[in-house]
């Protein structure tokens, strides 16, 4: 039961609150309740425990015990991750922590790491996901730099990562999923709630993660910028997005960057079509997309790979007879195969000099505008 964010990027606790109240109505003395759903720091102790007390008329830490243990698994690899990753546990007091640790030792082979409190355990998950978001944003910034200066970011990152202290992630057209686009906002919520209690108000606002979120969400607009420098304005032109899932070969669409790409293309007045072998045409319609129909293939002028499904490894680019450019947003396609079909191949940070050269200074200004305006022009 995930806690998600609303349109204002505020956490929506409604499902978790309802589940907690339901648990509270039947709560018995001596019970241990463990939360695994990722939440802002302080939620388990300051929000969930009081709700349990209200509905059960029992006292937390005395009649029942509350702990937090962050879920640390990814879709498609749950059992592997449960086995390989240490289980983090923290409780509202020492007894709750010990009880939670004993429970997980009884059901998992993984090692157990006990934290000092619920809050510290909650903080662990927010650190993990925010680190990845910031790392990807840094990779995307390197990609911007590479494109302006005619460098290949993938080769440069691969070489840099041979040094053991460099762990740069991969740039792309966006970040999706249940975790990375969502949980940094939980960290912000925790910091802002304590804004007046900290000695350093600037530090409390977590500026770097804020900028990382803006950079990663702006990659959709940057992808459109790359395409338009090759084929000109997209108004009235047909563009195909390959993959609406948030990750390759995972049939989930939570906070997928396909939506950001679609919105950016619509803002540029393009006609947008999608393809995804994991979803039926009816499902794509229900998700707010226009599925690619066979009769439209000849109208497609640009293709963007958003999800690197295995099925796309055999993608036949030659069927798109009027397509001029394919932007490989995940580094999946074979450049030679795409170009053999008469289609220009580009990727984020490939450093390719564009047909409509903006010039180095103008190009840098365009990229800066896209990123620091949050993808809005």
Point out the residues that are catalytic: 125, 179
Alpha carbon distance 103, 66 (integer Å): 13
Nearest CA to 144 out of 310, 377, 367, 358 is that of 367
- Phi first, then psi, for residue 165 (nearest 5°) are -100, 5
Residues contacting 312, CB < 8 A, separation 6+? 242, 243, 305, 332, 333
Nearest CA to 255 out of 178, 142, 185, 328 is that of 178
DSSP helix/strand/coil, 231: helix
Nearest CA to 135 out of 180, 168, 178, 175 is that of 168
DSSP 7: T
Work out the burial of residue 108: count CB atoms within 10 Å of its CB; fewer than 13 is exposed, 13-18 middle, 19 or more buried: middle
Residues contacting 73, CB < 8 A, separation 6+? 81, 82, 85
Nearest CA to 315 out of 324, 326, 118, 293 is that of 326
- Helices 360-372 and 207-217 cross at an angle (nearest 10°) of 110
Alpha carbon distance 159, 171 (integer Å): 15
């Amino acid at each position: 039961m995930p806690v998600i964010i609303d349109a204002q990027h505020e956490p929506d606790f409604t499902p978790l609150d309802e589940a907690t109240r339901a648990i509270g109505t039947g709560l018995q003395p001596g019970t241990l309740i463990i939360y695994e759903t990722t939440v802002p720091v302080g939620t388990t102790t300051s929000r969930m425990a009081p709700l349990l007390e209200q509905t059960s008329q029992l006292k937390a830490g005395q009649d029942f015990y509350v702990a937090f243990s962050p879920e640390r698994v990814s879709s498609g690899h749950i059992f592997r991750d449960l086995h390989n990753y240490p289980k983090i546990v923290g409780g509202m007091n020492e007894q709750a922590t010990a009880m939670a640790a004993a429970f997980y030792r009884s059901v998992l082979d993984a090692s157990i790491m006990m934290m000092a409190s619920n809050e510290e355990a909650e903080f662990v998950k927010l650190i993990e996901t925010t680190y990845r978001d910031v790392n990807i944003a840094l990779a995307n910034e390197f990609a911007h730099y590479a494109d302006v200066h005619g460098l290949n970011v993938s080769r440069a990152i691969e070489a840099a990562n041979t040094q053991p202290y460099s762990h740069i992630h991969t740039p792309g057209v966006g970040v999706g999923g249940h975790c990375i686009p969502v949980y940094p906002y939980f960290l912000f919520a925790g910091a802002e709630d304590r804004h007046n209690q900290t000695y350093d108000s600037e530090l409390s606002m977590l500026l770097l993660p804020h900028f990382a979120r803006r950079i990663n969400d702006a990659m959709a607009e940057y992808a459109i910028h790359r395409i338009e420098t090759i084929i000109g304005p997209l108004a009235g032109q047909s563009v195909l997005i390959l993959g609406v899932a948030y990750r390759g070969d995972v049939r989930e669409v939570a906070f997928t960057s396909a939506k950001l790409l679609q919105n950016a293309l619509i803002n540029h007045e393009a006609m947008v079509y999608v393809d995804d072998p994991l979803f039926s045409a009816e499902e794509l319609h229900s998700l707010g997309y226009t599925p690619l129909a066979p009769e439209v293939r000849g109208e497609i002028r640009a293709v963007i790979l958003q999800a690197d499904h295995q099925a796309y490894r055999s993608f036949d680019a030659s069927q798109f007879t009027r397509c001029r450019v394919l932007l490989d947003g995940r580094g999946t396609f074979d450049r030679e195969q795409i170009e053999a079909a008469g289609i220009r191949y580009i990727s984020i940070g490939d450093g390719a000099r564009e047909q409509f050269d903006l010039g180095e200074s103008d190009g840098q200004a365009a990229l800066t505008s896209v990123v620091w305006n949050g993808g809005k022009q």
